[in-house]
Amino acid sequence: MMEDDLESYLGKQTVKDLKRQAIEAKRNAYVPYSHFPVGACIYTNSGLFYSGCNVENASYGLSICAERTAVVKAVSEGNTCFRAIALSTDTVGEVWPCGACRQFLSEFGNFPVIFIGLDGTIKVEMVYHLLPRNFSKSDLKTVVKDNKD
C-alpha cells in the first residue's frame, strides 16, 4: 500500500494524527535496558486513537513493546476493531515489528501497519504480510481430539 492509498483509506488528517501521536508516544518509552524507544498509535474502527510506548523490565523477558501497549490500551477501553497502527522509531531506516507484536496484532485482524521514518516518510504493510498464516484461534480448534489420548 502506498502513502496515497493510505490517505484515501484513512483520510489525510487521520494519517497526520497517527504520525504525530506515534512520534509523541515515543517520549514516554521506558527503555533503561535497550535504549531503543518506540512509539505507536492505533486507530480504531470507531475513530479513536490509542498511543503506546515500549515498557521494559529488569527481567528482559517481561518487556512489552509499543505496539502491544497501544493494543491493550484500546482493548481495555472496549475497542477491538482496528483500522491501522503507526510506528515510530529513532532509526534511519524503517524497523518492522518483532514477531511477538505481529502475533499480537494479528489476533485482532488484518490492517495496515504504518512505518514512520525519522524524515517523516512513511511505508505501509498489512499485518498479514508481516506474519503470513498467523497462528490463530481457528488453529487451536483444528486439533484432532482422538489423537490426543
Residue positions annotated with a catalytic role: 67
Instruction: State in angstroms the smallest separation of the CB of 66 from Zn ion.
Output: 7
Contact 105, 113 (CB under 8 A): yes
Integer Cα distance of 54 and 25 in angstroms:
9
* 52 bridge partner residues: 40
Q: Binding to its own copies by residue 106, rule CB under 8 A?
A: yes
What is the b/e burial string over 91-109, where b = at least 16 CB atoms within 10 angstroms of the residue's CB? eeebeebeeebbbbbbebe
Contact 30, 56 (CB under 8 A): yes
Q: Binding to its own copies by residue 21, rule CB under 8 A?
A: no
Total number of residues that touch Zn ion (CB under 5 A): 3
Integer Cα distance of 54 and 129 in angstroms:
23
Q: Which is nearer to Zn ion, 6 or 101 (CB)?
A: 101
Instruction: State in angstroms the smallest separation of the CB of 33 from its own copies.
Output: 7
Site string for its own copies, 114-133 (x = CB under 8 A): ----x----------xxxxx
Which of positions 22-51 make contact with its own copies (CB under 8 A)?
25, 27-28, 30, 32-37, 51
Q: Which residues are annotated as a binding site for substrate?
A: 54-60
